[in-house]
């Protein structure tokens, strides 16, 4: 069996994957061989979680670039084919577990455990475990429960986005033996930015183009690495909507979209997810994600097409995209 998670997998995806792996091995008395497939590997904080909780024992092998061949497939916390890179071409008859507001993998899945009202995939996985194992007390190892706590904390921004169902799941995880304090320590340890990440942040800021939609500031930049870090910097600097275009040689182009929950609430629709879907459909790629964080993958990026789609998207919502300062992003990855 192969368990697929998205590129640069975050703690929610990783925790959900290891928990499902544990569940399958438990139900089959360890007779199922399980491979974790993580295109481009895991986020640094996810790697730390796996190490601190000793989760590797719950899978038999890991893939990030090797050929994959498996009889059964599970896709977890993944909203579009683009998030699986080249592995998307081998998907067939898969079980999908996800919670993103926009998901383009639902249509082709054989079995679907999809609930966009959930704040994390970890919550869905816990409910699956509870249903299949009945009374969970004593049957699920503490490290698996703690990993799910990490996944929930990460995707809810330390419970700031949690709802009553999230708190109910969290309380059950703790009662069953999950270590909330340890989960916090895994996620919250501060790390000094390394040299390459600092350079990427500076380049991202230098190349940024400034636009506006009403009184919302939209910032677009072109960067080859550390997109999430660059977008966080731009949002912290005052952007309401930040978009990074990452073109990689022979590997297509990723478009990453971030905004704030305040902007989403103000506009009244899942901005990042809807924009990602529109860009994916219009630029012959695929896209999806959350209301405030989403991504797109396209084989070929054309700046002119991108701007047209962006303009059309906002116009369809009664908004107008205007240029403040085009910046250098067009010359860096205009296509």
**Per-residue pLDDT at 210 exceeds 90:** yes
Residues 68 and 148 reside in one and the same domain? yes
Whether residue 24 contacts residue 84, with contact meaning beta carbons closer than 8 Å, is answered with: no
What are residue 287's DSSP bridge partners? 296
pLDDT band at 82, cuts 50/70/90?
confident
From 136, 160, 188, the end of a domain falls on 188
Query: What would the mean pLDDT of 30-40 be, rounded to a whole number?
Result: 91
Mean pLDDT, residues 69-78 taken together: 93
Q: Is the pLDDT of residue 202 over 70?
A: yes
Mean pLDDT confidence for 112-125 = 97
Same domain for 236 and 113, yes or no, is no
State yes or no: pLDDT of 65 exceeds 60: no
What confidence category does residue 138 fall into, taking pLDDT thresholds of 50, 70 and 90?
A: low
Q: pLDDT value at position 139?
A: 81
The pLDDT of residue 226: 87
pLDDT band at 137 (very low <50, low <70, confident <90, very high): low
pLDDT at 114: 97
229-258 as b/e, with b when 16 or more CB fall inside 10 Å? bbbebbbeeebbbbbbbbbeeeebbbbbbb
pLDDT tops 60 at residue 320: yes
Residue 88's pLDDT band (boundaries 50, 70, 90)?
A: confident
Alpha carbon separation from 295 to 12, 207, 255, 280 (Å, rounded):
17, 20, 6, 9
Decide: 72 and 34 in contact? Cβ < 8 Å: no
* Site of tokens 């997109």: 227
- Nearest 10 degrees: CA dihedral of 148, 193, 231, 235? 100
270-279 long-range contacts, CB within 8 A, separation 24+: 270/101, 270/102, 271/241, 273/79, 273/100, 273/101, 273/102, 274/102, 274/313, 275/310, 275/313, 276/80, 276/102, 277/102, 277/104, 278/309, 278/312, 278/313, 279/255, 279/306, 279/309, 279/310, 279/313
- Listed as own residue / partner, the contacts of 109-116 with beta carbons closer than 8 Å and 24 or more positions apart are 109/75
73 in the same domain as 172: yes
Mean pLDDT, residues 264-293 taken together: 91
Which of the four pLDDT bands, split at 50, 70 and 90, describes residue 67? low
Residue 280's CATH number: 3.10.310.40
Cβ pair 34, 21 in contact under 8 A: yes
pLDDT at residue 1 greater than cutoff 60: yes
Answer whether residue 135 shows pLDDT above 80.
Answer: no
pLDDT exceeds 80 at position 239: yes
182 and 200, same structural domain? no
Q: 247: which 2 tokens?
A: 């073109």
- Count of domains observed in the chain: 2
Q: Could you tell me the residue range of the domain that residue 23 belongs to?
A: 2-188
Q: How confident is the model at residue 51 (pLDDT cuts 50, 70, 90)?
A: very high
CATH code where residue 44 lies:
3.90.1640.10
Is the predicted pLDDT of residue 231 greater than 90, yes or no?
A: yes
SS3 call for 57: helix
Q: Strand, coil or helix: what is 119?
A: coil
List alpha helices for 8-86, DSSP H. Answer: 11-27, 44-53
Q: State whether 313 and 209 are in the same domain.
A: yes
Confidence of residue 191 (pLDDT cuts 50, 70, 90): low
- Complete DSSP assignment for 188-223: H---PPPHHHHHHHHHHHHH-EEEEETTEEEEEEE-
Q: Averaged over 193-203, what is the pLDDT?
A: 91
Is there a single domain that holds both residue 41 and residue 149?
A: yes
What is the residue-averaged pLDDT of the chain? Answer: 92
What percentage of the chain exceeds 90 in pLDDT? 73
In the β-sheet with 2-5, what is the strand arrangement from edge to edge?
A: 61-63, 35-37, 2-5, 73-76, 95-98, 111-114
Cα-to-chain-centroid distance, residue 292: 11
Q: What is the pLDDT of residue 305?
A: 94
Same domain for 306 and 271: yes
Predicted local distance difference test score (pLDDT) of residue 136: 65
CB atoms within 10 A of CB 32: 15
Q: Among 142, 157, 188, identify where a domain stops.
A: 188
Q: Do residues 46 and 183 both lie within one domain?
A: yes
Identify the bridge partners of residue 256 per DSSP, sorted by sequence position.
244, 295
Task: Mark whether 199 and 183 lie in a shared domain.
Answer: no
Whole-prediction pTM:
0.80
Identify whether residues 205 and 168 lie together within a single domain.
Answer: no
Report, as an integer, the average pLDDT of 309-319. Answer: 96
Averaged pLDDT for residues 63-73? 74
Last residue of a domain, which of 188, 203, 237? 188
Please indicate, yes or no, whether residues 38 and 174 belong to a single structural domain of this protein. yes
- Which pLDDT score, from 0 to 100, does residue 190 have? 64
Q: Give the pLDDT confidence score for residue 64 in this predicted structure.
A: 59
Residues 87 and 55 in one domain: yes
- Sorting pLDDT into bands at 50, 70 and 90, what band is 102? confident
Is residue 109 a contact partner of residue 96, using CB atoms and an 8 Å limit?
Answer: yes
């Amino acid at each position: 069996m192969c368990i697929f998670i998205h590129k640069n997998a975050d703690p929610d995806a990783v925790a959900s994957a290891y928990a499902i792996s544990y569940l399958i091995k438990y139900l089959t008395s360890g007779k199922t061989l399980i491979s974790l497939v993580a295109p481009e590997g895991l986020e640094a904080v996810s790697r730390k979680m796996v190490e601190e909780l000793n989760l590797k024992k719950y899978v038999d092998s890991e893939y990030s670039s090797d050929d994959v061949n498996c009889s059964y497939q599970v896709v977890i916390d993944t909203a579009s084919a683009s998030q699986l890179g080249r592995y998307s071409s081998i998907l067939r008859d898969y079980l999908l577990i996800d919670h993103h507001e926009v998901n383009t993998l639902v249509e082709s899945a054989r079995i679907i455990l999809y609930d966009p009202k959930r704040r994390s995939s970890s919550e869905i996985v816990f409910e699956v475990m509870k249903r299949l194992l009945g009374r969970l007390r004593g049957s699920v190892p503490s490290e698996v429960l703690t990993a799910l706590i990490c996944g929930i904390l990460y995707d809810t921004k330390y419970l700031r986005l949690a709802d009553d169902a999230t708190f109910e799941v969290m309380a059950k995880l703790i009662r069953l033996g999950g270590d909330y304090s340890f989960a916090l320590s895994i996620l919250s340890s501060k790390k000094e930015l390394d040299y390459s990440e600092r350079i990427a942040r500076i380049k991202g800021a230098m190349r940024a183009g400034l636009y506006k939609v009403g009184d919302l500031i939209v910032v677009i930049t072109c960067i080859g690495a550390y997109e999430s870090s660059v977008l966080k910097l731009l949002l912290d600097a005052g952007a309401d909507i930040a978009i990074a275009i990452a073109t990689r040689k022979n590997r297509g182009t990723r478009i990453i979209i971030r905004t704030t929950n305040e902007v989403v609430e103000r506009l009244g629709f899942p901005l990042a997810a809807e924009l990602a879907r529109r860009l994916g459909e219009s630029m012959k790629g695929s896209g999806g994600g959350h209301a405030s964080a989403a991504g797109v993958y396209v084989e070929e990026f054309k700046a002119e097409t991108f701007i047209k789609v962006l303009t059309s998207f906002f116009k369809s919502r009664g908004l107008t995209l205007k240029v403040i300062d085009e910046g250098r992003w067009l010359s860096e990855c205009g296509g």
